[in-house]
Amino acid sequence: MRRVLVAGNWKMHKTPSEARVWFAELKRLLPPLQSEAAILPAFPILPVAKEVLSETQIAYGAQDVSAHKEGAYTGEVSARMLSDLGCRYTIVGHSERRRYHHETDTLVAEKAKRLLEEGVTPILCVGEPLEVRERGEAVPYTLAQLRGSLEGLNPPGPEALVIAYEPVWAIGTGRNATPQDAEAMHQAIRQALAELYGEEFARRVRILYGGSVNPKNFADLLSMPNVDGGLVGGASLELESFLALLRIAG
């Protein structure tokens, strides 16, 4: 049985001071969980997350990582640094990184390798833009991106990797893939993972949906057999909506 993961991607929102207040309220109001909750804030917030969340059920992590282990790479943050801060998860390959920073599958794979070396679980994002979906090529496009981003990657087990399917056309737009659309893609991703790492690995690895997830659509998404949670953007910024997602996840 795969444990549902609700991962909040805060993107470039909230200051450390604002996050401290938010975390304290989350701790106070958090319901008992069977599912897993994670918050992925901007880098300057991570020390606050470590201070406030370390002794709670709430995991935390980063939104990106350097492909380099260490060295003279101004502005970069290494996987070792993130591990030292107690990060359980880190996003790699988010569509905004691929689009605005021109990150390739090869670079994403290197970032994921650095995380695995330090015991941090990559949340590897894949997904198609609108024009690809409209051409009817969403599945081959996304699976090619998946395979490229996993090139040379050998996760020690299914718990060491999370995949997030994010249809690019649904991110921050209010548009959604239907639960059936999400399920079809998640099923295709799971089959591709079986071909790469074996049936048992694929059966146990978690695949999140990440396209305008909110409390109104989350239950329907989770009803799909291959949807194991959500990579949540805007709905994770408001405490009440994030708590609502956790209550839905159980």
Q: What is the CATH number of the domain that holds 130?
A: 3.20.20.70
Q: C-alpha angle 210/215/217, rounded to 5°?
A: 65
The closest of 75, 81, 21 to 48, measured between CA atoms, is: 21
> Is 11 labelled a binding residue?
yes
> Average pLDDT over the chain, rounded to whole?
97
Give the pLDDT of residue 16.
Answer: 99
Percent of the chain with pLDDT over 90: 94
According to DSSP, residue 157 is labeled S
The first and second tokens of residue 95, run together, are: 């569509």
**C-beta of residue 122 within 8 angstroms of C-beta of residue 231:** no
Q: Tell me phi and psi for residue 84, to 5 degrees.
A: -65, -30
pLDDT at 176: 73
Greatest Cα-to-Cα distance within the chain, rounded to the nearest angstrom = 48
Q: Cα–Cα distance between 3 and 34 in angstroms, integer?
A: 8
Element (H, E) at 183: helix 179-197
The span from the CA of 235 to the CA of 233, in Å, is 6
The Cα–Cα gap between 245 and 229 comes to 10
**What distances in angstroms separate CA 12 from CA 54, 80, 116, 118, 175, one per listed residue?**
22, 22, 25, 25, 21
pLDDT mean over 175-195: 95
Is pLDDT above 80 for 173? no
Is 75 marked within a binding site?
no
Question: Is 61 a known ligand-binding residue?
Answer: no
Asked if residue 212 belongs to a known ligand binding site, the reply is: yes
Share of the chain above pLDDT 70, in %: 99
Confidence of residue 177 (pLDDT cuts 50, 70, 90): confident
Domain count, the chain: 1
Mean pLDDT of 193-217: 97
What are the tens digits of pLDDT across the range 44-71? 999 999 999 998 999 999 999 999 999 9
Q: Residues, the chain, total?
A: 250
Is pLDDT at 88 greater than 80 in this prediction? yes
pLDDT band at 170 (very low <50, low <70, confident <90, very high): confident
User: Each residue of 101-156: pLDDT tens digit?
Assistant: 999 999 999 999 999 999 999 999 999 999 999 899 999 999 999 999 999 999 99
AA identity, residue 29 = L
List residues with catalytic annotation: 94, 166
* Single pTM value for the model: 0.97
Count other Cβ atoms within 10 Å, centred on residue 36.
19
As a whole number of angstroms, the distance between CA 177 and CA 43 comes to 30
> Does 172 carry a binding-site annotation?
yes
Q: Are the CB atoms for 215 and 235 separated by under 8 Å?
A: yes
Full residue range of the structural domain in which residue 138 is found: 5-249
Give the per-residue pLDDT at 2. 97
The DSSP code for 177 is -
